[in-house]
Chains A and B, each alone.
Chain A
Amino acid sequence: MTSALTPRAGVRAAALPSTSPDAGPERGRRALVVVLPWATTVALLAVSEVLSRTGVLPEEIPPVTDVLAAGWQLVPTAKFATSLVVTLVQVAVGLVIGVVVGVAAGLALGSVPLLYRLTHHVLDFFRFIPAIVYLPVVVLLMGATPWTAFLLAALGTVWPMLFQTYYGVAGISTVLSDTARVFGLRRHQRLAHVVLPAVSPFVATGLRISAAHALVVVVAVQLITAIPGLGRDIAVYAANAVYPRMYALVAVVGLVGVALNAVLAAVERRSLHWHSAYREGWT
Chain B
Amino acid sequence: MTAAGAVRRRGRALVPLIVPAALVAAWWFASAASTSPYFPPLSRILTTFADNWLGDRVVSDVLPSLGRMLAGFCAAVVVGVGLGALLGRLPLLAHALNPVLQFGRALPATALVPVSIAVLGIGDVPKILLIAFVTVFPVMLNTIDGVRNIDPVLEDVTRSYRLTRRQRLWHVQLPAAAPQVVAGIRIALSVAFVMMIVSELIAATNGIGFVTLIAQQSFRVPLMWSGMILLGILGVAVNVLFAMVERRLLRWYAHAPEE
In the assembly, what is the distance between CA of A118 and CA of B231, in Å?
24
Is B99 interfacial (CB 8 A cutoff)?
yes
Residues in B neighbouring A40, C-beta threshold 8 A: 96-97, 99-100
CA distance A243 to B115 in the complex (A): 9
The contact string, 1 if C-beta is below 8 Å from chain B, for chain A 1-14, is 10011011011001
Majority DSSP secondary structure for residues of B touching A: helix
With both beta carbons as reference points, the residue of chain A lying nearest to B186 in the complex is identified as A283
Q: Which of these binds chain B: A75-83, A102-110, A190-198, A234-242?
A: A234-242
| Among A41, A126, A136, A216, contact of B227 (Cβ-Cβ < 8 Å) | A136
One of B57-65, B72-80, B194-202 contacting the partner: B194-202
A239: chain B residues at CB < 8 Å are 114
CA A220 to CA B113, docked complex, whole Å: 9
Contact between A258 and B111 (Cβ–Cβ < 8 Å)?
no
Tally of contact residues, A, Cβ under 8 A: 69
**Cβ of A96 under 8 Å from chain B:** no
Q: Choose among B107, B215, B232 the residue that contacts A250 (Cβ–Cβ < 8 A).
A: B107
Residues of A within 8 A of B228 (CB): 133-134, 136-137
Q: Which residue of B lies closest to A231 (CB)?
A: B111
Q: Is the CB of A246 within 8 A of B18?
A: no
**Closest-CB distance, A179 to chain B (whole angstroms):** 26
Q: Which residue of A lies closest to B238 (CB)?
A: A128
Task: State A212–B109 Cα separation when bound (angstroms).
Answer: 10
Interface positions of B from 146 to 173, Cβ below 8 Å from A = 148, 152, 155-156, 159
Give the complex CA separation of A132 and B200 in angstroms.
Answer: 12
Main secondary structure of the interface of A (DSSP, over half): helix
Check A58–B119 contact: CB distance below 8 A.
Answer: yes
Known: A130-B194, A283-B187. Contact between A216 and B108, CB under 8 A? yes
Residue of A nearest to B155 (CB): A4
Query: Is A99 an interface position by the 8 A CB rule?
Result: no
A130 touches B190 (CB 8 A): yes
* Chain B: CB-nearest residue to A260: B106
Q: Which of B196-226 contact A (CB under 8 A)?
A: 197-198, 201-202, 212-213, 215-216, 221, 224-225
CA distance A133 to B216 in the complex (A): 12
Given contacts A37-B98, A220-B201, A254-B106, 4 further A-B contacts (CB under 8 A): A37-B99, A40-B99, A60-B119, A128-B238
